[in-house]
Amino acid sequence: MFADEGVIKIKHDVLRRVAELAFEGTLDEEKEYIAEELIPGPRAQFRCCIYKEREIIRERVRLAEGKSTRMSDDGNLIQVIHAACEDCPISSFVVTDNCQNCIGKACINACNFGAIRAGTHRSHIDASKCKECGKCAQACPYHAIAALKRPCKFACPVGAITYDENGISVIDEEKCIRCGLCIHRCPFGAIGSKSYIVPVINALREGKKVYAMAAPATEGQFGEKITMNSWKKAMKKLGFEDFIEVGLGGDLTAAAEAEEWAEAYREGKKMTTSCCPAFVNMIRRHFPELSENISTSVSPMCAVSRMIKAKEPDALCVFIGPCISKKSEAMEFDIEGNADYVLTYSEIRAIMSAKNIELEEDEAYDYQESSIFGKRFSQSGGVTAAVLQSLKEAEDEIDAKINVCNGAAECKKALTLMKFGRLPEDFIEGMVCEGGCIGGPSSFRDKILSNKDREALLKQADERGIHENLSNYDLESFSMHRG
C-alpha cells in the first residue's frame, strides 16, 4: 500500500535529516533550520506557498522526534499534520448533476441546519453548516446527493476519524486501533505516526547494547536476494549489538498458543489470537466483553525481546517491520519485557541513509533463526498453520475449526458473531491488514512484487519443524505469557 511518491520523499527527507543531526548530536540546536533547508524557496514545491510547506516540515520534524504535531500532546501515536490537512475538501455530501432543481425541494426541507439552498440549476450545500446527518441524501427523490468520504475516513475500519469546525481531521484516541491504514491513504500526507528514531540513535551513539529484530514480513520486501543475513550485516555496521529474525518469535508464540488452544478447546472456550496489536486494540476498544478471550501468549516481537533480555537484562530491543500498531504494542501495552522501540521500514532506511549503509544482496542464504512456519507467521493464515503444526509435533492434535480473518472487515464480522454467541468456529485468527503483516501500512514494496520475492526466499528455507527449531534455545529462562 503506497502513498504518493512526493509524500514519501518528503517524509524520508525529514527522517533522514533528523537522523543525521541525531547522530551528530546537534538535533536540538539545528532542528529549527530543517524546514528552510528542505524548502529553500522562493517558489513553493508542492503547496500554495513556502510558508505552508515549511510548517508541514516542522510538524513532521516533531513526529520524527516522537512528539505530537501540536504543542499539546494528546498521547495518540497516530497524528494529524494540520498544515497538510487544511488542503483537503471538507464537504462529505455533494449535490451531483443528477439534481433536477425540483419544485418540491425535499433536500432543503429535510435539512434541520439550513445548510442547503436552491441554485439556478441545482441545490448547493454549505459545508460550514452541514452536520453530515445525511437526511438530504435520503430525502432526494433523484438520489442526486452523494455521500463522499475523505480517504482517511474511508480507510478507518472503526470510525475513529471525524472533522472539526475548520475541516481538519480529528482522530478519536479512544476509538483508534493504531492500525495506520489512514496514514498511507491520505493523498496529502496529512497523517503520520510518532517515530522513535531519535532514542534509538542516541542509544547507538552511547554504546548501549541495542538489538535489532526484523519482522517475518521483511523477507521479500527488498528483493529476492535481500535476506535476513543482509539485514544482520547492515545492522551490525550501523552499530547494533546483534540482529535476530522475529520468525523465531513466531515459532515461540505458536508453541505457546498451541498449548492454550488445546486447553481452551477441551474446556469449550473460544479464543482469539494476540499477535496483531491492531486486532487486540479492536477487541479491547470495540468489543471489550471479549477481552478475556484474547490469547495470553505474547507476540513474536515480545517473545524474541524477552529471550534477548533473559541473557542481557540491560539490552534494548528494536523491532523493525511494516506495522504501525507494533508501536502501540511496545509503547501502550503493559507487557513486561517487550520491545523497547519499534521502527518502520522507512524509519530504519532513514537511519541507514544517514550513515550511508545499504542492504547488500546475499547469495549464500546461510542465516536463518526460524522454521518455515515462523517465517509465514506474517501471512494471513500463517498463525493458524503454525499453531496446528505445533499441535501436530506435540502429538496433541485437536479437531478445531478456525476463522481466519483477512482484514479489518472480516475481523469485525467474526468478533460480532463471537460477541453474540453465534461464532461457529472455535478460534479466531485476526489480522487487520489484508494479506497479513506483509500487507502492512508501512510495507516497502507493492504486495504482488514482495510476495513473489518472498516465495523465492522461503523456498530456500529448510523445512525444520517448530519444536525441532526451538530445541536450540533455552526456553525456561523467560515466560511466553502476559503478566
Q: Are residues 420 and 345 in the same domain?
A: yes
Q: Are residues 370 and 469 in the same domain?
A: yes
pLDDT at res. 2: 45
* Contacts for 5 with CB less than 8 Å, ≥ 6 apart: none
pLDDT band at 89 (very low <50, low <70, confident <90, very high): low
List, in sequence order, every residue forming a beta bridge with 28; answer none if it has no partner. Answer: none
Q: Taking the model in full, what pTM does it have? A: 0.90
pLDDT at 1 over 60: no
pLDDT at res. 325: 96
337-346, 390-399, 416-425, 440-449, range with the lowest pLDDT: 440-449
276 exposure class (CB count in 10 Å sphere: 0-12, 13-18, 19+): buried
Q: Are residues 232 and 279 in the same domain?
A: yes
Q: Are residues 311 and 251 in the same domain?
A: yes
Q: Are residues 121 and 230 in the same domain?
A: no
Inter-helix orientation angle 345-354/228-238, to 10° = 50
Could you give the number of structural domains in the chain? 3
Q: Are residues 384 and 427 in the same domain?
A: yes
DSSP annotation string for 21-89: HHHHT-HHHHGGGHHHHH---SS-SSSS-HHHHHHHHHHHHHHHTT--SSSS----SEEE-HHHHTTS-
In angstroms, the CA 306 to CA 475 distance is 10
In angstroms, the CA 63 to CA 71 distance is 11
pLDDT at 200 over 50: yes
Q: Are residues 224 and 351 in the same domain?
A: yes
pLDDT at 364 over 70: yes
- Span 244-261, average pLDDT: 97
Residue 482 covered by a domain: no
Q: Are residues 137 and 167 in the same domain?
A: no
Q: Domain of 61?
A: 5-86+150-195
Q: Are residues 61 and 131 in the same domain?
A: no
pLDDT band at 90 (very low <50, low <70, confident <90, very high): low
Q: Which of 171, 195, 219 is the last residue of a domain?
A: 195
Q: How far is CA 119 from the centre of its chain?
A: 45
pLDDT band at 449 (very low <50, low <70, confident <90, very high): confident
pLDDT band at 188 (very low <50, low <70, confident <90, very high): confident
CATH number reported for the structural domain that contains residue 47 in this entry: 3.30.70.20
pLDDT band at 445 (very low <50, low <70, confident <90, very high): confident
29-33, 45-49, 143-147, 306-310, range with the lowest pLDDT: 45-49
In angstroms, the CA 308 to CA 241 distance is 11
pLDDT at 285 over 60: yes
pLDDT band at 402 (very low <50, low <70, confident <90, very high): very high
CB neighbourhood size of 407 (10 A): 18
pLDDT at res. 72: 65
CB 324 within 8 A of CB 347: no
Average pLDDT, the chain: 92
Residue 202 covered by a domain: no
In angstroms, the CA 87 to CA 41 distance is 20
Q: Are residues 180 and 318 in the same domain?
A: no
pLDDT at 279 over 90: yes
- Span 360-380, average pLDDT: 91
pLDDT at 433 over 90: yes
